A and B are shown apart, each in its own frame.
Chain A
Amino acid sequence: MLIPMMQDLQAECGYLPPDDLRELARQLSVPLSRLYAVATFYASFRLAPKGAHEVSLCMGTVCYLKGSASISEAICREFKVAPGGTTPDRLFSFTAVNCVGACALAPVMVVDGKYCDGVTPESALEILHGLTAENAEAAEEKTKLKISASSADSAVKQTPPKEAAR
C-alpha cells in the first residue's frame, strides 16, 4: 500500500516533502530509494511544492488535433513556465496531461478542477491572467472543507477532489 500512502501524503502537502518521505520509508522499513523510484516513475507525484493554482492542459489526440500544442506554447511563453513546472511567482503549476477524457470539449484546460472547453491560445491566457493569489486561498479553503466532509474509506484515505495531476 505504498502508493496510496504517498498519494495521501501528496494530497495533504501538495507535494512529497523530503523529510516526510524519509519518515515514511523508516516507518515502512523500505529503503528511501524505493520511494524515490516510485515518486519519479509516476507522473502524478511531484517532489517540489506546487503553485497556488493547478492548471492542466490536455494533450490527448483530439485536443492535439485541435491545436493544444500552440496553447501550451503560448502559456509557456507568457508565464515563463515549462510543462511540469511552476511559474516563478508560484501562481500556478502547469502540467501537460495525456488525456483528461473529455474529448467532446477539446481542446480542454482544467483549472483547479474546473473544465474549460474549446480553449484557444488567447482564451487560455485570458483565463490564466484572471488567476490571483487571493482566489487561490478561497479555492484552498473549499478543498479543506471538502476533505473534512468526505468520509474515509476503510483503509485508504479520501483525497481532495483534485483534477488531473499528471
Chain B
Amino acid sequence: MIDALAKFASIADFESFARSLRSQVKTATRSIRLCMGTGCQAKGAARLYELFEEAVKQSGQTGNIEVKCTGCHGLCQRSPLVVVDPAGIFYQQVEEPDVAEIFRETVLGGRVVPRLLYQDPQTGKKLEGAEEIPFYKVQQRIVLSQNGRIDPTKITDYIAEGGYSALVKVLTSMTPEEVIEEVEVAGLRGRGGGGFPTARKWRSCRSAEGSPKYVIGNGDEGDPGAYMDRSLMEGNPHSVIEGMLIGAYAIGSGYGYIYVRNEYPLAVKYLRTAISQAREIGLLGENILGTSFSFDIRINRGGGAFVCGESTALMASLEGRSGEPRAKYVHTVESGLWGKPTNLNNVETWATVPHIINRGGKWFAGIGTEKSKGTKIFSLVGKITNSGLVEVPMGITLRRIIYEIGGGIRDGKRFKAVQTGGPSGGCIPAEHLDARVDYEELTKLGSMMGSGGLIVMDEDTCMVNVARYFTEFLLNESCGKCTPCREGLAQMRHILQGITKGQGQAGDVQKLQDLAEILSGAALCALGTTAANPVLSTIRYFRDEYDAHILDRHCPAKECRGLFLYQIDAEACKGCGICLKNCPVDAITGERKVAHVIDQEKCTRCGTCWEKCPFTAVLKV
C-alpha cells in the first residue's frame, strides 16, 4: 500500500491524507490483532497469523476482515495473545487448534470463547477486554498506547492513529524555542536511566557552537532483564523517528543516528522499514513536507558491548573505534560525535516527545511526582506471576507494580527483593516496597531508576550470589580503560567468589566497601562509578546473609553450592532408589521401599539427588 503513496510536497497535502486515513479507521469493521513480540513469536504467533489469514481467505471475507501483526502487547506471561476487534475481546495462550473456533465464534459470530479468556486469579471471573485485566488496569499506557494497535511495518497505521501530527504541529505553529519550552514545562527527564532534564540538554546543544549538529537515539539496551526499548523499536518504530524529528527541529540538527543493539535484528529491520517509508513520503530527507527543515536518520548496529550504552562510548563506536568512554569535562552537547555538538537521548525519551507536543507539557507534568513527571516503561520480570512490559505513572509504589500489576510472587513464595536499574542499580528489600518510583527516591534507597528493568527475587535467591553475578557481569563488560573499574571489579569479584564458596574471611565486607568507595570516586564513566551499587545495596539490606556465609559457612537461601546440606525426608521418601542410582559418589544408602539416607561425610553437595527425586523428598537444609 505504501508504494501507492507519493512524496508529499506540502504540509496541507499530508494533513488531508492523514485526515482521510483517520476517518477510515473509525468506520473500520472487524480485525484480528496478533501480538508479534518475542514472547508470542517464540510460542508460535507467526503460525497463528498464517492460520487466521487462511481462515479469512476461506470464508471469502478478504477485505472485510483484517488480520494484523502488531508489536508487544505486554502480558508476555500469557503469550500468544490475540485480540479480536471491534469488541476488543482479549484471548490468551491461544494455540493452533483454537484458531478455527475463534474465527467462527468471535470474528464471524460475535460470540465470546470463554475458555480462552483471562481469568482473574482472585475472583475467578473471566474477563473479556484487556482494560478489565488487573495487569492493564493499573497501568497508564501513553508511550505504549499504540503498541499492540498498529502494524509496525506500515506507516499508514501509525498515521491513522494520529502519528506525525505532533511533527505537523511543530512545523506549522511552533518555533524551535517553543518546542524546547514545551518539553521543559513537561519536566521530561532522560529515560535511559540518568534522568537528566531533556529540555536542558536540547537547549545546551541548540546554543552550542559548531555544525553540523547530530541527534542520536540510544537503543543499545544492554541491561540484562530489560526489554522496553526493544519492544518500542519493534512495536512502534515511527514514534521514535517522530520524536527525533521534533528534537532535531528544536536543536537545529540535520543528521541523526539510531544505535541499535546487535541482538535485536527485528528492531533493526523494522526501523529500517520505517525510515525508508518515512523517506518515501517526504517525512525524512531534504525539505520535509515542503518546508525548509531537512533531517535524515541512519541506523547503526551495536557490536555487542554493554559499555556502549554510555554516551561517549557509543559515539566512539559510531566513529568506528572501540567503545571506550572518555572523561566528560567537555559535554557531548558541545563536542560529541566527530567533535560536533551532539544530543543523545534514549529511544524511550524520543518516543515520549510526540505525546508531549500533542497533548501539551502541562498535561504531561500533571502525571507523576514533583520531580519525576509522566510515565515510565518497566520490564517486570523474575520470580513474578505476570511477567511483562508495563507502563506506569511515576510515583506509583513498587508494591502496587509487583502485587497489583504483577500478581505477586510465583508459586506462593515469599518476596525478598526487587532489583532496579540493571547492573548499576541495587536491590530493594521488602521494608521499602512502599517506596515510590521516582528518580530521587530510588537513588536514596541505594538503587536507581535505570532504563527500567524490575527484577523480582524470592526467598530462594541468595543476595550475595546476586552481587557476585552483577560484579562478574560488569567485570566482563568493563572496557578496561581506567584502573579502578578494571582492577577494582576484579578484586571485588574475587572476594565475592570466595564468600559464595565458603572461603569468606572476617573483614571481607569492609574490603568490599573500601573498593566500592574508590570505584564510585575514581572511575571514568557511569559504568564504573555505579558498578558497586549491587554490592553496596545488598550489604546495606542483607548484611545478615553476608555474615551467615562468612561466619557460619551457611547460605540462608540455599543457593551457594557447598554452603548447605542435602537431607532425605524420611516421611516423603518412597525408597524408589533413583537418587541412590544417580549419586556419583555412592553417598546414599537404603533398602528398596525404605527411606534412604545420605552419608554427609561422603556427599559432595552436587545436588543430583535433589534434581532427580520425583517425590521432592530431598531437602536443602
Contacts and interface: CB of A to CB of B under 8 A. Distances in A.
A binds B: yes
Interface of A: 1-4, 7, 34, 37-38, 41-45, 59-62, 64-65, 97-106, 108, 113-117, 151, 153-156, 158-159, 161-166
A104 B381 contact: yes
A7 B303 CA distance: 8
A103 B263 contact: no
B457 interface: yes
Contacts of A99: 222-227, 263
Contact of B263 (A2, A101, A151): A101
Contacts of B304: 42-45, 165-166
A61 B382 contact: yes
Given A41-B303, A115-B38, A61 B321 contact: no
Interface string B359-390: 00000000000000000000101110001100
A45 B457 CA distance: 34
Given A153-B299, A166-B304, A103 B387 contact: yes
Residue among A64, A116, A162 facing the most chain B CB atoms (10 A cut-off): A64
A45 B317 CA distance: 14
Contacts of B326: none
A99 B306 CA distance: 10
Given A42-B323, A62-B224, 16 more contacts: A7-B301, A38-B322, A42-B305, A44-B302, A44-B303, A61-B225, A61-B419, A61-B453, A65-B461, A98-B477, A99-B224, A99-B225, A114-B42, A153-B272, A154-B298, A161-B265
Nearest to B230: A101
Contacts of B393: none
B507 interface: no
A86 to B, nearest CB: 17
A64 B534 CA distance: 15
Residue among B269, B317, B320 facing the most chain A CB atoms (10 A cut-off): B320
Contacts, number: 145
Given A41-B323, A104-B76, A156 B298 contact: yes
Contacts of A62: 224-225, 381-382, 455
A43 B298 contact: no
B182 interface: no
A104 B81 CA distance: 14
What does DSSP make chain A's interface, helix, strand, loop or mixed? loop
B31 interface: no
B224 A61 contact: yes
Contacts of B379: 103
A73 to B, nearest CB: 11
A106 B201 CA distance: 37
B17 interface: no
B242 interface: no
Contacts of A161: 265-266, 269
Contacts of A163: 263, 265
A102 B39 contact: yes
Contacts of A114: 42
19 contacts: A38-B303, A43-B303, A43-B304, A60-B225, A61-B224, A62-B224, A98-B222, A99-B263, A100-B38, A102-B38, A104-B388, A115-B38, A115-B41, A151-B276, A161-B266, A164-B263, A166-B262, A166-B263, A166-B304
Given A62-B382, A153-B276, A101 B226 contact: yes
Interface in B205-226: 221-226
A102 B268 CA distance: 16
Contact of B305 (A1, A43, A64): A43
Contacts of A4: 300-301
B227 A102 contact: yes
Nearest to A160: B265
Nearest to B265: A161
A114 to B, nearest CB: 8
A115 B269 CA distance: 18
Interface in B461-477: 461, 469-470, 473, 477
B79 A98 contact: no
A2 B323 CA distance: 13
B387 A104 contact: yes
Contacts of B204: none
Contacts of A116: 42
Contact of A44 (B230, B262, B322, B381): B262
B317 A3 contact: yes
Contact of A37 (B230, B261, B301, B322): B322
Nearest to B300: A4
Interface string B37-51: 011011100000000
Contacts of A7: 262, 301, 303
B39 A104 contact: yes
A154 B296 CA distance: 12
Contacts of B461: 65
A103 to B, nearest CB: 4
Contacts of A108: 42
Nearest to A162: B265
A154 B272 CA distance: 10
Given A99-B226, A117-B43, A161-B269, A105 B38 contact: yes
A108 B225 CA distance: 12
A44 B455 CA distance: 26
Q: Which 3 residue pairs are nearest across A and B when measured between Cβ atoms? A: A42-B303, A104-B76, A60-B224
Given A104-B77, A104-B79, A116-B42, A59 B322 contact: no
Interface in B288-311: 298-306
Contacts of A115: 38, 41-42
Given A42-B305, A43-B305, A165-B304, A2 B320 contact: yes
